[in-house]
A and B are shown apart, each in its own frame.
Chain A
Amino acid sequence: MTAALEMLLRLVAWLVLAPLIPGIINKVKAWVAGRRGPPVLQLYYDLAKLWRKGVVLSTAVSPGHVAGPAVAWVALVFAALLLPAGPAGAPLAFRGDALLFVYLLALARFCTAIAALDTGSAFEGMGAAREVSYAVLCEAAIITALLALSLQTGSVSLTTMLAPAAGAGAALLAAGLFVVLLAENCRVPFDDPNTHLELTMIHEVMVLDHSGPPLAVILHGAALKLLLFSMLLVEAVLPLGELSPLSATGALAGAVLSVAVGIGLVESLLARVAFRRVPLLLTTAFLLCLFALLIVWKGGHL
């Protein structure tokens, strides 16, 4: 009973905290640009408003259209349950959950892309094509990163894999995972969340035809995914499992905050790269993870 209650509490914590990250990023961007910017809690207000709004659906969509965002959100929620939160470990942990984590993200991608194609819009098709294509390279990088962590700890469960620091290859792994984070969450330099030109978008263009509560679910899911990747990055690099609970929690919060600030700075200082350069950037991320893996490999014998 207590276990179930604890899981529920943690789930609520995940769901409540997730929309903070985009707020922080936007605040950082505003500061760098010399503006005051929207409040940090803006996404909460947006979500509350969208949840009460009416819905406009395309005449072309199938009855499953609303199920797309729902299933994608559930997949992300379950991925969150697999990810350990610092010293407390993950609510759900078993051997092989690292791969389940990757494939839950794939399930979310599948549903989002299918819902995009459902509208018959050329722009949404374009976005879906980009999303699923670039995800191929992201997946290679993530699997390589997981291989590095698994080789280091001898485990295929995220709770064990993420407990110690990533060792000598930590910097490479962090850089690789940060690039993957930017790509998977459609941030600059891969995609511009603020753009208003449908032709150049990836993620935002896929959700053009969603509105009201389904859009709220999509936005919340995107915030959740951002938090997921930030936590993954932080926990892969920092030895959170070896610290005392209090300092680990502090370190986790501080590190996630600095990742958010980092994303804000990247978005303020970098321009979007041309689409033909995206594969190069992602291949670089893959190579960074691969070198991290090789360092772990050599580390085992030195």
Chain B
Amino acid sequence: MTPGWLLFIAAAGLVAGIFAAFRAPRVWLTATLIGAVAALAAAIWILASGGIWDWQATFALGGERVHLRLDGVSAFFLALLALLGCAGSLYAQEYWTDKAHPVSAPSGRAWWNALLVNLGLVLLCANGLHFLIAWEIFTVCAYFLVTQDRHRREVRAAGWLYLAASHAAALCLFAFFASIAARVGTWELGPMRERAELAPLFWLALFGFGLKAGMFPLHIWLPSAHANAPSHVSAILSGVTIKIGIYGLVRFTGWLPVPDAAGWVVLTLGVASAVLGVAFALGQHDLKRLLAYHSVENIGIILIGLGFAMVAAAHGNVAWGQLALAGGLLHVWNHGLFKALLFLGAGSVLHGTGTREMSSLGGLWRAMPWTAGLFALGAAAISGLPPLNGFVSEWLVFLGLFDAVSAHGPAAWAAIPAAVLLGVTGALALACFVKVCGVVFLGLPRSDAVERAHECGWRMRLPMLVLAAACVAIGLAPALFWPAVETACATWQPAWAASGPPAPLLKLGAFHIAVAALATLVAVVLWRRVKINGLSRTVTWDCGYAAPAPRMQYTAGSFAGIITGWFAWILRPERHSHPPQGPFPAHASLEEHTPETVLERVVEPAGLVVMRLSTAVRRLQHGRLQAYILYLLIGLAALALLALMGGAK
């Protein structure tokens, strides 16, 4: 079977799923899984062979011939889409059941398949017009998926914000593709690096795709949308749809010429997204909102890689550019895998306890051992710790940055702060995920919600297991996945087709395996020793207090307090404090909340100014006929004056 047939099966399966979604959930699941697996197979085919699948239809849509193309870059993203599509479909069966959600569950399944199809089409379309159509449809599908729980007010608000922001992005992309079409004379897309006049259009693409990717400061829509969507939807939004923004940037920086400043701007935005994304994450109390901010951080890491690759391409420095790009692209996969795993884990917590508020969770490992273990694995992976996958991609980016510094060129001045801040980002992410794991899964229950908690069933557990296995596999055997990254890199910049991995991935993999094996061995030996020596249990030592209570545990806010204090200049935390007063204090409280600084301090005030201006302009239009006649007369008089003055010349 060729990739074409596989893609046909994928499309057939997913479209059949849309029709089966309402009446036959089992048929829907089967069809969707078959479709997604076929798409995965097609992507692997292309990535393994390094070829291109190109198909031109005999029919036209909107006056343009349908033209689909699957090459290294699009196959790289398609593989991620297919895997997360599989995981999310299975997960949704148990997470968002027909019983609990009789209306939104069936329609959600249909929107889900429509989303998958259109995301795939965005990756495949080699025609600007069709790209835009698929882009618009997937944006709308994602809106309906985000607002599945629409009787809640904050969900509707999040949906509107997402829709408005996405359309600002779509507007830019309309301008982008229309300008290309106007200058080139066709909607067909393909490599056109030699047409220097297209370079300024990059800024339109950066805004449009960057907003979709959720880079700072265009991330305003992301936290609320990802936090309020059902968890399998959050997983695909965070894992794939924001990566479609990255796909757009990778695709069109590869195909089109870019301005000289482009690489520098992208990497600056990347560094800002990475550091500030994780800083905002530290200030969050809502589990899913916290994870959403980590998407901003990881998009930043990807953009650092892409930005340096663009700088390298502009300066002709192959070696470190390829490393940075490979790191960035591999991080696309890695982030997709562990972030989806974490969102599915968070969904399991929400499903089991009914709350996302970290301050009312704690000690969940007792009721949910699987979720706790898998979430901890995802947390270690996202913190970039060896021997897991997050480290491999950050390591490649780091190597690129170090080589750029050693190369002593102009890029070194950017590589030094980028490397230091990438290290800082890693340490901050570690702090944040220690906080999450500790507060949510360890310690003692902080509320009744935890007492009622229950572990998720196998249909929610299996997708998490698959994603965790993928994280471990990339960590332990990175060399196995290198050909895929290399194919994508070589598609982006044909001059960069390397003979082998530029970094000792085999040695790193062997090292990771050794670490994992010895860690397991030592843990077992230590546990046996503990058993032999004798084990007794007592309450936690709390400085001599007789009755440690769950309320005395360290809170998420206090844990992050030191770091959020350092970032108070941008986080602007709001504190509501009633300190204890008098010799017999009756009531005391402290509440801290981190607002969406960019949204509340920049976008909303700007929106208010626009509203005021438009209200002022609306005074001219109040429905009184006399006034309109007056406007007409004034207009006529002005025209007459103009004509008279023109005639005098």
Instruction: Tell me the A residues contacting B by CB distance below 8 Å.
Output: 51-60, 62, 64, 66-67, 69-71, 73-75, 77-78, 92, 94-96, 99-100, 102-104, 106-107, 109-110, 113-114, 116-126, 128-130, 132-136, 138-140, 142-144, 146-147, 150-151, 154-156, 198, 208-209, 212-214, 217, 279, 293, 297, 300
Contacts and interface: CB of A to CB of B under 8 A. Distances in A.
Contact of A57 (B405, B507, B535, B558): B535
Contacts of B433: 110
A125 B399 contact: no
Nearest to A116: B438
A155 B542 CA distance: 48
A300 B402 CA distance: 16
Interface in B377-428: 380, 383-386, 391, 394-395, 398-399, 402-403, 405-406, 408, 412, 416, 419-420, 422-424, 426-428
B427 A135 contact: yes
Nearest to B413: A297
Nearest to B423: A143
Closest 5 CB pairs of A and B: A125-B554, A117-B438, A120-B443, A143-B423, A132-B431
B540 A102 contact: no
B550 interface: yes
B514 interface: yes
Give the size range of B's interface with the partner: 35 or more
Interface in B216-236: none
Contact of B554 (A58, A70, A74, A129): A129
8 contacts: A64-B365, A64-B376, A70-B525, A94-B508, A110-B380, A129-B559, A147-B402, A279-B566
Contact of A121 (B535, B548, B559, B562): B548
A60 B386 contact: no
A190 to B, nearest CB: 13
A78 B515 contact: yes
Contacts of A113: 434, 438
Interface string B522-559: 11011101100111111111110000101011100011
Contacts of A107: 380, 385-386
A180 to B, nearest CB: 13
A182 to B, nearest CB: 18
A156 B372 contact: no
B508 to A, nearest CB: 7
B424 A140 contact: yes
B540 A119 contact: yes
A7 B439 CA distance: 40
B391 A103 contact: yes
A269 B505 CA distance: 47
Most A CB atoms within 10 A — which of B366, B403, B540? B540
B498 interface: no
Nearest to A118: B442
Given A104-B386, A140-B423, A132 B503 contact: no
Contact of A60 (B419, B434, B443): B443
A94 B504 contact: yes
Interface string B75-103: 00000000000000000000000000000
A140 to B, nearest CB: 5
Given A66-B530, A96-B504, A96-B508, A74 B522 contact: yes
A243 B343 CA distance: 54
A114 to B, nearest CB: 6
A59 B538 CA distance: 6
A299 to B, nearest CB: 11
A100 B438 contact: no
Contacts of B426: 103, 106, 139
Per DSSP, chain B at the interface is helix
Q: Which of B408, B434, B503, B534 has the most CB of A within 10 A?
A: B434
Contacts of A52: 533
B566 A128 contact: no
A121 B444 CA distance: 9
Contacts of A208: 541
A48 to B, nearest CB: 13
B424 A125 contact: no
B383 A55 contact: no
B536 A140 contact: no
B519 interface: yes
B518 A147 contact: no
B213 interface: no
A67 B536 CA distance: 17
B561 interface: yes
Nearest to B536: A56
Interface hub of A71, A102, A198 (most chain B Cβ within 10 A):
A71
Contact of A120 (B420, B422, B553): B553
Contacts of A55: 530, 533-536
Given A120-B362, A125-B553, A129-B562, A217 B427 contact: no
Contact of A209 (B372, B503, B541): B541
Contacts of A114: 376, 434, 437-438, 442
Given A60-B539, A78-B515, 15 more contacts: A60-B363, A62-B366, A94-B511, A96-B399, A100-B508, A119-B443, A124-B554, A128-B554, A136-B424, A139-B426, A140-B420, A146-B402, A150-B402, A151-B408, A300-B408
B517 to A, nearest CB: 9
Given A139-B427, A150-B406, A78 B540 contact: no
A82 B395 CA distance: 16
B430 interface: yes
Nearest to A112: B434
Contacts of B560: 129
A57 B537 contact: yes
Given A66-B523, A69-B526, A56 B434 contact: no
B203 to A, nearest CB: 32
A262 to B, nearest CB: 26
B427 A92 contact: no
Contacts of A134: 562
